[in-house]
């Protein structure tokens, strides 16, 4: 199976020096908006909006929506009045900041080699900026955005990189690829540790070289050393493990976000298209996930709360699609209802202490088990159906 590479941008593929770049970026934006708003007020609103995005855990809101809900009310200026000036800034002023960055000589040869190997590549940059800004920075690095399978930006992502759910959302948007995955980045707090919490192997660019004994220890080195490291590594050792509490919770949070992103802007045909008579449409898949969440998963979680060592039933839900005529439901409404049901799931799970995840049970299908494994089955169910949803949409 092909390796999936998640690549950070700033100070990984592009020399940016964020400590210098970010103040210059903010100052240039403040100058452009001075006819509309005092710089001090703009700075306060901008910093607050960035903080709200970094902290957001709401999978139903894009980071752009989170930012706008905080930023414009603080300025007391309608969004539609300020947007022309903001768009002008990103079209004409932001590109001039390229002189504060420089290309990394090792980046382009590595990307060309990785594509030649058939690797799938996503640009996993922190999605705190508009698409135009991110695309400009990719071009400064010597690349075109269209080269990559996915580029995360704030208009279609729901978590910042401080959350393991961000990395699960990236993989969900790529159809939850099977096989090895490697996150490559320079920032320990925003690239390496959260990815490891999800269960991904990592390569710390320009960090201290770590043990090469396995992905759990992490790997590190210069960007130019990444290719020889991969060539000498058994790629199977980079296969993710989603068996921890943090990884399971990350996947559960990211699933509605990934579905929200995958379905953004699709038409009625895409909602109801069945690739073959044996395949479910996107609407049927989401209705199945919604009802399984409400009627099965919630029941299973409550059994653990109410009983000492519960028996966990697993009814056959595969017949519901035809019995309940899912195809003729409203897919958009069903997705909102799944979002609501998953929000309730996470609220139920938050009532459990970490020790409770060892709570023993007996599963109707899998026999002796515990709470972590049962909730892990939910995450596996999520990944399987996102794979199906992604595949269905790709066939349209």
Q: Which tokens sit at 236?
A: 């199977």
Domain boundaries, the chain: 4-14+102-238, 15-100, 263-394
Which residues, in sequence order, are bridge partners of residue 369? Answer: 361
SS (H, E, C) the chain: CCCEEEECCECCCEECCHHHHHHHHHHHHHHHHCCCCCHHHHHHHHHHHHHHHHHCCCCCCCHHHHHHHHHHHHHCCCHHHHHHHHHHHHHHHHHHHHHHCEECCCHHHHHHHHHHCCCEEEECCCCCCCHHHHHHHHHHCCCCHHHCCEECCCCCCCCCCCCHHHHHHHHHHCCCCCCCEEEEECCHHHHHHHHHHHCCEEEEECCCCCCCCCCCCCEEECHHHHHHHHHCCCHHHHCCCCCCHHHHHHHHHHHHHHHHHHCCCCCHHHHHCCCCCCCCCHHHHHHHHHHHHHHHHHHHHHHHHHCCCCEECCCCCCCHHHHCCHHHCCHHHHHHHHHHHHHHHHHHHCCCCHHHHHCEEEECCCEEEEHHHHHHHHHHHHHHHHHHHHHHHHCC
- Per-residue pLDDT for the chain (396 aa), expressed as one digit of tens each? 799 999 999 999 999 988 899 999 999 999 999 999 999 999 999 999 999 999 999 999 999 999 999 999 999 999 999 999 999 999 999 999 999 999 999 999 999 999 999 999 999 999 999 999 999 999 999 999 999 999 999 999 999 999 999 999 999 999 999 999 999 999 999 999 999 999 999 999 986 544 333 444 579 999 999 999 999 999 999 999 999 999 999 999 999 999 999 999 999 999 999 999 889 999 999 999 999 999 999 999 999 999 989 999 988 888 999 999 999 999 999 999 999 999 999 999 999 999 999 999 999 999 999 999 999 999 999 999 999 999 999 988
The pLDDT of residue 217: 54
Domain 4-14+102-238 has CATH 3.40.50.1000: yes
The pLDDT of residue 214: 42
CA atoms of 357 and 2, how far apart (whole Å): 33
Which residues, in sequence order, are bridge partners of residue 182? Answer: 5, 201
For the domain spanning 263-394, the CATH number is 1.20.120.450
The pLDDT of residue 394: 93
The pLDDT of residue 314: 84
User: Do β-strands 311-312 and 360-363 pair in parallel, antiparallel, or remain unpaired?
Assistant: parallel
The pLDDT of residue 207: 61
């Amino acid at each position: 199976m092909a390796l999936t590479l998640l690549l950070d941008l700033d100070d990984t593929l592009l020399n940016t020096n964020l400590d210098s770049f970010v103040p210059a970026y903010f100052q240039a934006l403040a100058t452009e908006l001075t006819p509309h708003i005092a710089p001090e007020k703009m700075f306060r609103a901008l910093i607050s909006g960035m903080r709200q995005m970094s902290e957001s855990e709401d999978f139903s809101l894009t980071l752009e929506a989170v930012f706008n809900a905080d930023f414009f009310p603080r300025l007391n200026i309608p969004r539609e009045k300020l947007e022309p000036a903001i768009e002008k800034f990103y079209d004409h002023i932001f590109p001039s900041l390229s002189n504060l960055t420089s290309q990394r000589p090792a980046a382009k040869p590595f990307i060309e080699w990785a594509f030649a190997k058939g690797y799938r590549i996503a640009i996993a940059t922190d999605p705190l900026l508009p698409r135009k800004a991110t695309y400009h920075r990719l071009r400064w690095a010597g690349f075109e955005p269209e080269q990559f399978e996915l580029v995360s930006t704030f208009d279609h992502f729901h978590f910042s990189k401080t959350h393991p759910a961000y990395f699960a959302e990236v993989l969900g948007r790529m159809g939850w690829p099977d096989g090895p995955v490697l996150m490559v980045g320079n920032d320990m707090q925003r690239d390496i540790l959260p990815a490891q919490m999800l269960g991904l192997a990592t390569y710390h660019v320009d960090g201290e070289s770590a043990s090469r004994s396995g992905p759990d220890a992490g790997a590190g080195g210069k960007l130019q050393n990444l290719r020889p490291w991969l060539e000498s590594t058994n790629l199977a050792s980079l296969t993710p493990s989603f068996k921890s509490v943090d990884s399971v919770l990350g996947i559960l949070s990211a699933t509605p976000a990934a579905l929200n992103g995958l379905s953004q802007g699709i038409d009625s045909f895409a909602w109801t298209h069945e690739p073959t008579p044996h395949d479910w449409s996107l609407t049927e898949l989401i209705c199945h996930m919604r009802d399984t969440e409400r009627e099965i998963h919630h029941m299973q979680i409550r059994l653990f709360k109410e009983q000492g060592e519960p028996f966990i039933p697993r009814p056959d839900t595969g017949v519901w699609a035809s019995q309940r005529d899912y195809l003729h439901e409203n897919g958009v409404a069903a997705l909102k209802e799944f979002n609501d049901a998953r929000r309730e799931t996470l609220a139920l799970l938050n009532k459990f202490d970490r020790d409770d995840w060892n709570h023993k049970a007996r599963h109707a299908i899998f026999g002796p088990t515990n709470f972590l494994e049962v909730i892990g089955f939910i995450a596996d169910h999520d990944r399987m159906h996102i794979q199906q949803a992604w595949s269905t949409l790709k066939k349209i």
